[in-house]
Amino acid sequence: MWLSSLSNVQRNALLRLAHNVIVSDGLLDPNEEDMLFELKREMGLSDVGELEYLELEGIQNIFENRRSRVIVIVNLLKLSYVDGAFEVEEECLLKEIARTFEISDQHFLLLDNWVRRHTALEDEVIALFD
């Protein structure tokens, strides 16, 4: 969501952060792979191959403003829920990213709540397709 407003450097960094989230719990779910493919497609990076881990040190310099930082957290939260479980490893990683971005715990919880409600609405409309 809102990925078109990110620069190319930010898009590539977001993909690598998404990779960090996916591998954080040691489990690779097909839904996570599908969402990663969708992120690549939406950002025009479908040709990007193997992703590498992105060190968190300095990411605040890549995502310099609050808007880009919130976009990252929202998309990573959505990715974390796509397999049906928000694992503790994913939560710890996302909270660490949020702290690096100077997003308070309270604001993180608000973003988390919004993503869960948004995901539920998406599931609801998909059920209406059938």
Q: Over the stretch 22-63, which tens digit does the pLDDT of each residue have?
A: 988 777 788 888 888 999 999 999 887 788 899 999 999 999
Is 80 exceeded by the pLDDT of residue 17? yes
pLDDT > 70 in the chain, percent = 100
Domains, the chain, ordered by start: 3-129 (1.10.3680)
Instruction: Find the largest Cα–Cα distance for the chain.
Output: 45
pLDDT at 100 over 90: yes
pLDDT (tens digit per residue) in 73-85: 999 999 999 888 7
**What's the pLDDT score for residue 8?**
95
> What's the first-to-final CA gap in the chain, in angstroms?
24
Helix (H) or strand (E) holding 17: helix 8-24
pTM metric for this prediction: 0.91
Amino acid 79: pLDDT? 93
Residue 64 has pLDDT above 90, yes or no: yes
HSE of 94, CA atoms in CB hemisphere, 13 A: 28
